[in-house]
Structure 1
Amino acid sequence: MSEGYVLAVDQGTTGTRAILFDHTGTPIAIAYKEHRQIYPMPGWVEHDPIEIWFNTKETIRRVIRDSGIDLGRILTIGVTNQRETVVLWDPETGQPVYNAIVWQDRRTAREVDHLRREYMDFIRLKTGLIPDSYFSGVKIWWMLNNIPGAREKATSGRLVAGTIDSWIIWNLTRGSRDVATPEKNGAHVTDYSNASRTMLFNIQRLEWDPELLEIEGRIPREILPLPRPSSDRDLYGYTGPAVSNELFGGHAIPVSGAAGDQQAALFGQAGFNPGDIKCTYGTGNFILVNTGDTLVYSKHGLLTTIYYSVKPGTATYALEGSIFITGAAIQWLRDGLKIIEVSGEVNPLAEAARDTGGVYFVPAFTGLGAPYWDQYARGLIIGLTRGTERKHIARAVLESIAYLTRDVIETMKNDVNLDVKLLKADGGASRSDFLMQFQADILNSKVVRPMVYETTALGAAYLAGLAIGFWSSLDEIRSYWRAEKEFTPRMDDETRERLYNGWKAAVRRALGWAREVPWAYGYE
């Protein structure tokens, strides 16, 4: 069954990719398209779900055109997605009732304060998560309470909710007769890994939890998708007639795999053994370590999450450190400060500086995630002098990404007695040799970049291909992984600790700032 290709849809925070992979996991063609970032108020972040769906179709169309392959050789589709971002839509019309609320959004901070006071341990035991505006449940709560008519539609079956994987899969399969929930006019499904990021899913029982649904805003169970394995031999469904005719020359293509982007990235890195660890350098940074079939609850601010599943009722778990803003800070240099014109300029600009000149940058634009979990932290640049130039700020932005990653990995070492001798890196910012070398230096660990950068899409492809037998086993997938470049530490211990202590001092000044001036962020 090695003849053919797997199509992966990678719907991320800033854009959508479609990639065709062959049997060796090699990309045959790639298409990408950005979408708008919508900021209605300070701390609010939204996306247009219709724009995301149109971009998904456009990238699929382009990747098929550029590859020139026979459409009949596309064997299956895998989907990976920005996690925690939520859409509510009418299943009859297919129209969202509001913009998607993005994982970075902070509008539910007050509701989360209530959950932390009253239900912290209860939620953490069931979900593995620390209550935060980051997660999907409180976003659904906000939508049901603030969109006119939403709660009434939800209780009468005229509204469904889902993370972006559910939205994409529903649209792909819309109109198909062979879907998991045909009454919803599309496969209304999610995989266990995405469900585990909602703060509504019991990660031990692998089902939506009625008590969590109640305390997080009386969310009707009926509006939520059917949780399924990440690699589903029973399939989520086939592309519906409209999509099949528009994109695939009339062929109905099975959709058989899905996972949240960070879990998919570890899968694409062949992180199949307990202790395997990766960091994805994207809009944010996300560090995952495989803990096997063991649920490990962090004592130091990490998240316990579902990594993947290949069989109903079973799961492999991971510990995760979620850093909200890293690569997005580079975009801010481009779009906000406008000190660079394209993102790629940040690397030569940073390398032009011997050091930061004492400048530290803390990218807490939407609070700080692991291990701090302070939704009231805000970004700062500290250490400015008359001698500070653009290059020092650019270098401080890149260095902040490495510092935040060390914060998380130090915490993982304490939680699982982990000796990180090798960190696998992927994502857009991992292309920066400067950043990867500084990461190795500040961690005092080897950092390895894979031959295939797009490991998130590759993981989705592997999961989908496993479901239909295109790949026979995890061992076969592991055999295709190749390193492109390794970075070994070159910094002396004294310099490493001096720089890191300066970073910790800067973070202390960023913590809790929005709580000090709530009027500036709409919290009064």
Structure 2
Amino acid sequence: AEICRRVEKTGAAEMIRKKTGLALSPYFPASKLAWLKENVEGAEALAKKHALCFGTIDTWLVYRMTHGTSYKTDYSNASRTQLFDIFEQRWDEEICQLFGLDAQDLAEVCDSDSCFGETDLDGFFEKPVPIQSVLGDSHGALFGQGCLEKGMIKSTYGTGSSIMMNIGETPVLSTHGVVTSLAWGMQGKISYVLEGNINYTGAVITWLKDDMELIQSPAETEELCRKAEADDSLYFVPAFTGLGAPYWNSEAKGALSGITRTTRKAEMVRAGVECIAYQIADVVNAMSQDAKTEIQELRVDGGPTRNQYLMQFQSDILNRKVLVPDAEELSGIGAAYAAGRGLGLYGDEVFTRLKRQEYAPKMCEEIRVRKYNGWKDAVKSVLK
């Protein structure tokens, strides 16, 4: 955070946003790389000799799996570093210098479905096999969900959540608090996305279990949600470390508001579950405004999608269909699909393999509007 404040004082924040699509934030790797270089013993000296490799986890994995012969990344991961010009599609020297980094020391950026080298996994395979796909976590899920057309959108529910919309081959800079990134580079073409990252979604359930000790397992939340008072006014804003998209307020603190005499454990747990859906609705609505696209459905994945109460509530608050696939690990599936397609093992028919459960909105308009407005008021109360 201190490094970001230092960069912001140079007046470069807006330039960085316009080139990278990302609001200046310690969330992204640029400031983390700068911190490591400044604080890890010997790093500065190695960097001066151009003997230091900088990268995200994919770069490190590829480097290790190829015994140091391949120092590469793909467009999706490069676009998340806050060092990559997504319009010129290259590392930006000016931004790198602001963070004390040298662009020539960064990994080679390749198409997401190209060959990144070969590996035998330290002898696990009899002969080396190609590493034929590299994708960022959320980008992999977008691809695995089959969101290949402009306007298609998915949400991955994890510790935090990533909501991502395919916006096609022409980038759109957000004016509503989400970020613009590259989806992937495949078969020589670049696709762009809008993305919103939420810090705490599934982690709220972990907090209810481990810290508040209100539940013993995440599976209990669905039954408690159904036992809670049908129409109370309780809201939980999980700003444990500030709020991510679309608010980007790192000073905000969490709040439980609307407590009444009838507030019990069940109501508190339900507020924790419902805040996941509210936060995702905030981001989906922001993306719809930025892309000037009417969203028809939300494709979802991740562990919390097993909670049927949450999925129905998500559909109700969005007033859109929510589609839950019969597989959870869409990020891995997406990378596998990209690798197989890149090698010509199969074509787009692979995307029809997923079976989906559909949730359609059931909540009446008056209740939906009242509930969502109550959430917006709760969020306003924690913003500084």
Normalising by the smaller structure, the TM-score range is over 0.9
Q: Counterpart of 2:294 in structure 1: which amino acid?
A: D
Q: Tell me the secondary structure at the aligned position of residue 279 of structure 1.
A: strand
Is 1:148–2:48 an aligned residue pair?
Answer: no
How far apart, CA to CA, are the structure 2 residues paired with 1:164 and 1:340?
33
Q: Tell me the secondary structure at the aligned position of residue 486 of structure 1.
A: strand
Query: Are the counterparts in 2 of residues 306 and 316 from structure 1 also a CA contact under 8 Å?
Result: yes
How far apart, CA to CA, are the structure 2 residues paired with 1:306 and 1:338?
40
| Displacement after TM superposition at 1:295 (Å) | 0.7
Instruction: Give CA-to-partner distance per residue, 1:375-410, whole Å, 9 cap, x none.
Output: 222222222345322211110111001111111111
Query: Are the counterparts in 1 of residues 236 and 254 from structure 2 also a CA contact under 8 Å?
Result: yes
Q: Tell me the secondary structure at the aligned position of residue 328 of structure 2.
A: coil
Query: Are the counterparts in 2 of residues 244 and 252 from structure 1 also a CA contact under 8 Å?
Result: no
TM-score where L is the length of structure 1: 0.70
Paired residues, number: 383
The aligned residue for residue 106 of structure 2 is 224
Percent identity between the two aligned chains:
40
Once the two structures are superposed, the pairs formed by residues 24-423 of structure 1 within 5 Å of their partners are 108=1, 110-116=2-8, 118-174=11-67, 185-215=68-98, 217-232=99-114, 235-240=115-120, 243-245=121-123, 247-248=124-125, 250-312=126-188, 314-355=189-230, 357-423=232-298
Q: Tell me the secondary structure at the aligned position of residue 12 of structure 2.
A: helix
Query: Are the counterparts in 2 of residues 289 and 318 from structure 1 also a CA contact under 8 Å?
Result: yes
Q: Tell me the secondary structure at the aligned position of residue 131 of structure 2.
A: strand
Is 1:482–2:355 an aligned residue pair?
Answer: yes
TM-score where L is the length of structure 2: 0.95
The alpha-carbon distance between structure 1 residues 162 and 356, as it changes in their structure 2 partners (threshold 3 A), is farther
Q: Tell me the secondary structure at the aligned position of residue 381 of structure 1.
A: strand
Query: Are the counterparts in 2 of residues 239 and 255 from structure 1 also a CA contact under 8 Å?
Result: yes
The aligned residue for residue 375 of structure 2 is 503
Q: Tell me the secondary structure at the aligned position of residue 257 of structure 1.
A: coil
Query: Are the counterparts in 2 of residues 353 and 395 from structure 1 also a CA contact under 8 Å?
Result: yes
How far apart, CA to CA, are the structure 2 residues paired with 1:145 and 1:125?
26
Instruction: Give CA-to-partner distance per residue, 1:345-400, whole Å, 9 cap, x none.
Output: 22222222134732211111222111111122222222234532221111011100
Query: Are the counterparts in 2 of residues 445 and 489 from structure 1 also a CA contact under 8 Å?
Result: yes
Structure 2 residue ranges without an equivalent (≥5):
none
The aligned residue for residue 99 of structure 1 is none
Q: Tell me the secondary structure at the aligned position of residue 256 of structure 2.
A: strand
Query: Are the counterparts in 2 of residues 450 and 481 from structure 1 also a CA contact under 8 Å?
Result: yes
| Displacement after TM superposition at 1:187 (Å) | 2.0
The aligned residue for residue 366 of structure 2 is 494
Q: Tell me the secondary structure at the aligned position of residue 286 of structure 1.
A: strand
Q: Tell me the secondary structure at the aligned position of residue 134 of structure 2.
A: strand
| Displacement after TM superposition at 1:498 (Å) | 0.9
Instruction: Give CA-to-partner distance per residue, 1:48-82, whole Å, 9 cap, x none.
Output: xxxxxxxxxxxxxxxxxxxxxxxxxxxxxxxxxxx
The aligned residue for residue 7 of structure 1 is none
Instruction: Give CA-to-partner distance per residue, 1:412-457, whole Å, 9 cap, x none.
Output: 2211222122111111111111101000111111111122222111
Query: Are the counterparts in 1 of residues 152 and 295 from structure 2 also a CA contact under 8 Å?
Result: no
How far apart, CA to CA, are the structure 1 residues paired with 2:65 and 2:336?
16
Instruction: Give CA-to-partner distance per residue, 1:194-235, whole Å, 9 cap, x none.
Output: 1000000011222111001011x2112344221111110xx1
How far apart, CA to CA, are the structure 2 residues paired with 1:236 and 1:363?
39
The alpha-carbon distance between structure 1 residues 169 and 348, as it changes in their structure 2 partners (threshold 3 A), is farther
Structure 1 residue ranges without an equivalent (≥5):
1-107, 175-184, 513-524
Query: Are the counterparts in 2 of residues 129 and 199 from structure 1 also a CA contact under 8 Å?
Result: yes
How far apart, CA to CA, are the structure 1 residues paired with 2:69 and 2:199?
32
Q: Tell me the secondary structure at the aligned position of residue 160 of structure 1.
A: coil
The alpha-carbon distance between structure 1 residues 355 and 120, as it changes in their structure 2 partners (threshold 3 A), is farther
Q: Counterpart of 1:444 in structure 2: which amino acid?
A: N
The aligned residue for residue 65 of structure 1 is none
Q: Counterpart of 1:309 in structure 2: which amino acid?
A: G
Q: Counterpart of 1:221 in structure 2: which amino acid?
A: A
How far apart, CA to CA, are the structure 1 residues paired with 2:112 and 2:332?
14
Q: Counterpart of 2:3 in structure 1: which amino acid?
A: E
Q: Counterpart of 2:378 in structure 1: which amino acid?
A: A
Instruction: Give CA-to-partner distance per residue, 1:239-295, whole Å, 9 cap, x none.
Output: 15xx242x33x3322111011111111100111111111111111121111111011
